[in-house]
Structure 1
Amino acid sequence: MCGIYGAIGPYSSEEVEAKLKLTQFRGPDFYGYKAINLPNGRKLSLAHNRLSILDLDQRSHQPFTYNEGGITVVYNGEIYNYNTIKNKLVSAGYKFKTTSDTEVICAAYLEYGYSCVKKFNGMFAFVIYDQEKQILFGSRDRLGQKPFYYSITEGGFEFASQLSSIQLYNKGLSISKRAIREYLSWGVIPDTLSIFNEVEKLRAGHYFVYSITSGDFEVEPFWDIDVSGKSKFSGSYLDAKQELEEILTDAVKIRLVADVPVGVFLSGGVDSSLVAALATKTTNDKIQTFSVKFSEKGFDESVYAQEVANHIQTDHHIINCNPKEGIDLIENFTSFYDEPFSDSSAIPSMLLAKYTRKHVTVALSGDGGDESFLGYHRYNWVTYLTKIYGLPKFLRLFGAGVLNLAPNYRLKIISETIKNKSLNEAYLSTMFNTNPSWMEPNNSTSEFEELKYLFHKNKNVYERVSDFDIKTYLNWDINTKVDRATMAYSLEARAPLMDYRVVDFARSLPTDFKFLKGNQKRILKDILYAHAPKEIFDRPKAGFTMPFKEWFKKDLKDFILSELNENELAIIPGIDVEEVSKMIDQHMKGTWNRYSLIWKLLVLKQWLKNNGKGITIK
């Protein structure tokens, strides 16, 4: 895991070095820089911050040049099947001087061309300079685990792992009003947008080709979810369980390969427990596991994580999280999440990474299981929505009106949800804020390509919402959260459940293999129960969340009221300050849980205050 940067533009070597130093936490082991003189008289700068994981020798430092200077690459991530690819390339006559996956990327590009990315099983963002063709070829992994920002200007091209590197010394940036609107709705800035109008994110599962001579830029997909629903598993449930366990076991095994210590994040839930259990089965080494403990009732699952750790015999570490440490992370939040991002579980994720890094350099996680195997609470809510939308319209709207009269705010939220015209739109409203009372009412989701995964009739509603969440929530939110939280402390996170073979296999399974009569993640649980007692997991899903609801009313109340008073709120465009102030007051009085809104506004205000001075918003 590393940080990459590159530019065809006016920056000096000192300026490039300063850009990389902003994100040195992504790769503190080595800083590499190479200036390449181009035939048109311009200069290509390539730079890299290295977190050494494979082949710790300096021979694998980047920028890495292959084939006597014909190919140069900067690369962030891991190719887990690189040895398999390497063996085939050796048979084809290629020679290797390192034991790193970086060199394999270069040789695979020479052998397979743009199709090389289809052969990579991993998480990655890379750019190759092809001297002969005078192009830059780059790609981002299938699920967007690794970030990639880029900016195209007249005669110039700039890219980076994090937005702050592009922002530094760049006088041509303006803050995007649309990005702010989308952030206020989604809580994240969706791909391909960034907070700046002039910078975009490369879509997950895509590659690009930039012509240095003409300035032409083309983007093409190399992987996608099967929207047609034609890829269907034809075997029995037992067949599926056996095949999935084999895929999962290999997915875990190849992610344990490293030349540095490896551990596992263990929350005590199904996904992380399964990853930890399979890790102990695929190595003779004692696995170290890590979890976060909160003192607040209903948020502490560390006791369950300890039970799992005791059963599978790991060396377990419990990290305590308290409001004071939470404030410290909140105040420095925008240094690592360098555009607005409001998933509050980023805070415990950062805390977990901070302390895990003291013991290991790589940590496996259970991320990706909920989306592929229907594990979120909202998938149960889909069951109720299906029944509600099966009623005559007048009955549904009458019920919505009755619920809206109730004093309980949760019932009012349900009322607003079932007023939507269709079940698809009702589900979308659970992910996308459409409340017109406190923000500009002209938000629209119509421009997002990802809506095609939800609004079609080729699959049942459970499969559609699962596909949609993989392409949106998992990509835009979860992967951003994990990448920034772990990289903030130079820790590499690997997610076996996001192995594309697992995702593709899950997409092919009948829905009832994953979700049957309220039994969510059915097939994952049945695999897990062969390794750990079912009784440990016989409890409601808690999720990895912060006790912000209580902290904002108690320990952090003065902090919140100071940071989000009317004068501070006034710097946020597109909101009704008076209405927002009323909603914050509702939270402090305990009449409505507004913690997600408060956190969203706090992050945006801090970002604008730290980054928005002198920059036009348009």
Structure 2
Amino acid sequence: MLGRPQEIQIQSDCALASGQAGQIATFGPVSVLLCGRPTWAEAALAQEAGRRGAAELLARLWQSHGLAALDRIGGSFALALYDRARNEGLLAIDRMGICPLAYAQVAGGLVFSTDLSVLCRHPAVGRELDPLALFAYLYFHTIPAPLSIYRKARKLLPAQCLHWRQGNPESRFYWQPEFTASAKPEAELARELRQALEEAVAGCVTDPKATGAFLSGGLDSSTVAGYLKRLAPDSAAAFSIGFAAEGYDEMEYARACARHFQFPLHEYYLTPEDVIAAVPKIAAAYDEPFGNASAIAAYYCAKLAREHGKTCLLAGDGGDELFAGNARYAKQKLFALYQRLPAGLRTALIEPLVAAGGVPGLAKVKSYVEQAKLPLPERLETYNFLHRTPLSDIFETDFLASIPTDWPIEHLKEIYHRPKASMLQRLLYLDWKLTLADNDLRKVNRTCALAGVEARYPMLQEPVVELAIRIPDRLLMRGLELRSFYRRAFKDFLAPQTLAKPKHGFGLPFGVWLQFHSGLRELAYSSLDQPALSGIVRKDYLAALKQAHSNAPSYYGVMIYVLMMWAQWALAHPSA
């Protein structure tokens, strides 16, 4: 807790979700709690942190630099600081949101924790659920910061700090990316990237024998695994998950990478029975509902690594969001072409012609025009479940009346328009928040912790990020080619199969398995009947969802999974 001096409590409860204990230090009137693996902007600071400890160094920097101390720390961290002399407090998390931190304002100060399950134990916070957070969960399949599942708790956003002075908290972003295109030749930028990533992998490895790598066979995980092999030639190993379902398995690419770099690959093929066993465990492990089905694959992958003696796994998360690897970036470039046509041509000819219909072959053109007319970032949500069906058909009337249903779009707008940047750069920045901090990093951190493994992220180290934001758009994507610059930069390092691999993702064939596996169907459908959904989601919508799933299992299986995990989370975390 941050408050009056006699109320200060800096406890071991404030530890990372990964189970990593925090450092506590006091220097003069300043007390600091620091969690994570911080890095430093200057070599001299790194040496001083090694001598004094990172928490004490931060206390000293605060006394001499105030809030500017945050400019000199990087890596992954969550921190809490209290200055008794100034009666000031500070909460902050790292630039990419690797480490979470939740807080609540209470009488006399702030209470905080990296785990909402700890924070809600405070009697002034409690377990009252936030209806807007539940709505946002169904919209995003995770609860994005600053919302939390509990009405009185909020979460810090990436690179955000909360400065508490004389009883008044004020939030701000202590860092914002400056997307400035470098004038350096492509070859020089590529050399810098290879060096930065190799050093980032080395910086994430403290015990080579205990460190392995996630491996999907894609560009990022293959790069990380390759550099791990170079760093630890005798102990490097990778771990992969396969699916015995057509269109989902990528093991051939993981095997090609393992052959190319000559390290052992440990494989595990996931089954519906594994999903049934994991769902209650994973729901209980998260401090709020989490609906990304690939968490199950991540858990079994981390579990496999732990069984082979690894206590740390390097993940490739972040590469697509830094170097333009998601298919939506190319799709939005196509839509942007329509906006470049003369306004008169669009409104006087194309749109009336499309609206009139009756012309053979215009169906796809009509869909294109309807989407292209929408502004960004709204256009990204065209296929969102909550835009494809009227909200009144999904939610109970009283629940719907209690929330601002435009919050998700307004949240997207605020993030998208925050940086001064191009369309592509804004899309990347938006994904840093929604795809990484709110989703993928939570997925990997929590499932690794459940398996007894710590996850680390070479792609998200400051030198790599700072280089990525200097790569010109024309190099990041050549036309509609995803990851153009990255592929060219690593063409002599990665396997040919890796370089040619199409973007796939790490999806779980949940909807497909749900069709034929009675045990999995029983778990999912019985979850939809749980009291947690009562009064919120309409029963006739749930019935329609089950029926629609039989016709489009992959698509509707996603929403069934999201609702199932909400109900399973509620069973494991009963509210007051």
TM-score past 0.5 threshold: yes
1:236 to 181, 185, 197: 185
Relative to its length, the structure with more helix (as a share) is 2
Partner of 2:160 in structure 1? Answer: 206
CA RMSD of aligned residues (A): 3.6
Partner of 2:475 in structure 1? Answer: 513
| 5+ residue gaps, structure 1 | 1-6, 10-37
2:51 to 96, 112, 128: 96
Contact between 1:96 and 1:103, CA under 8 Å: does it hold in 2? no
Q: How many residues are treated as equivalent by the alignment?
A: 557
2:378 to 425, 434, 442: 425
CA distance in 1 between partners of 2:356 and 2:289 (Å): 35
User: What displacement does 1:143 show?
Assistant: 0.9
Please state whether the residue corresponding to 2:289 is helix, strand or coil: coil
Please state whether the residue corresponding to 1:159 is helix, strand or coil: strand
CA distance in 2 between partners of 1:63 and 1:144 (Å): 19
Partner of 1:608 in structure 2? Answer: 570
User: What displacement does 1:593 show?
Assistant: 2.6
2:25 to 47, 55, 65: 65
CA distance in 2 between partners of 1:591 and 1:545 (Å): 13
Matched, 1:571 2:534: yes
Distance 1:247 1:577, change over 3 A: same
1:127 to 52, 57, 80: 80
Partner of 1:352 in structure 2? Answer: 301
CA distance in 2 between partners of 1:417 and 1:324 (Å): 42
Contact between 2:354 and 2:366, CA under 8 Å: does it hold in 1? no
CA distance in 1 between partners of 2:384 and 2:490 (Å): 29
CA distance in 2 between partners of 1:257 and 1:413 (Å): 55
Distance 1:423 1:165, change over 3 A: closer
Partner of 1:16 in structure 2? Answer: none
Matched, 1:42 2:1: no
Distance 1:478 1:432, change over 3 A: farther
- Quote the sequence identity (%): 23
CA distance in 2 between partners of 1:271 and 1:369 (Å): 6
Distance 1:447 1:382, change over 3 A: closer
User: What displacement does 1:208 show?
Assistant: 2.4
2:440 to 448, 455, 478: 478
Distance 1:352 1:417, change over 3 A: farther
Please state whether the residue corresponding to 1:189 is helix, strand or coil: coil
Distance 1:518 1:82, change over 3 A: closer
CA distance in 2 between partners of 1:424 and 1:217 (Å): 30
Please state whether the residue corresponding to 1:366 is helix, strand or coil: coil
Distance 1:529 1:330, change over 3 A: same
Partner of 1:245 in structure 2? Answer: 194
Contact between 1:571 and 1:605, CA under 8 Å: does it hold in 2? no
Please state whether the residue corresponding to 1:543 is helix, strand or coil: coil
User: What displacement does 1:366 show?
Assistant: 0.7
Contact between 2:92 and 2:159, CA under 8 Å: does it hold in 1? yes
Contact between 1:273 and 1:528, CA under 8 Å: does it hold in 2? no
CA distance in 2 between partners of 1:124 and 1:276 (Å): 24
User: What displacement does 1:276 show?
Assistant: 1.5
CA distance in 2 between partners of 1:315 and 1:196 (Å): 44
Partner of 1:22 in structure 2? Answer: none
Contact between 2:213 and 2:237, CA under 8 Å: does it hold in 1? yes
Partner of 2:291 in structure 1? Answer: 342
Matched, 1:197 2:151: yes
Distance 1:507 1:115, change over 3 A: same
Please state whether the residue corresponding to 1:122 is helix, strand or coil: strand
User: What displacement does 1:432 show?
Assistant: 8.0
CA distance in 2 between partners of 1:78 and 1:520 (Å): 31
User: What displacement does 1:419 show?
Assistant: 7.5
Matched, 1:493 2:455: yes
CA distance in 1 between partners of 2:145 and 2:523 (Å): 32
Contact between 2:212 and 2:237, CA under 8 Å: does it hold in 1? yes
CA distance in 2 between partners of 1:341 and 1:296 (Å): 24
User: What displacement does 1:103 show?
Assistant: 4.7
Distance 1:259 1:165, change over 3 A: farther
User: What displacement does 1:401 show?
Assistant: 8.6
Partner of 1:540 in structure 2? Answer: 502
Please state whether the residue corresponding to 1:47 is helix, strand or coil: coil
CA distance in 2 between partners of 1:488 and 1:400 (Å): 53
Partner of 2:102 in structure 1? Answer: 149
Partner of 2:331 in structure 1? Answer: 381
Matched, 1:559 2:516: no
1:223 to 175, 180, 205: 175
Contact between 1:401 and 1:415, CA under 8 Å: does it hold in 2? no
Contact between 1:266 and 1:273, CA under 8 Å: does it hold in 2? yes
CA distance in 1 between partners of 2:382 and 2:14 (Å): 40
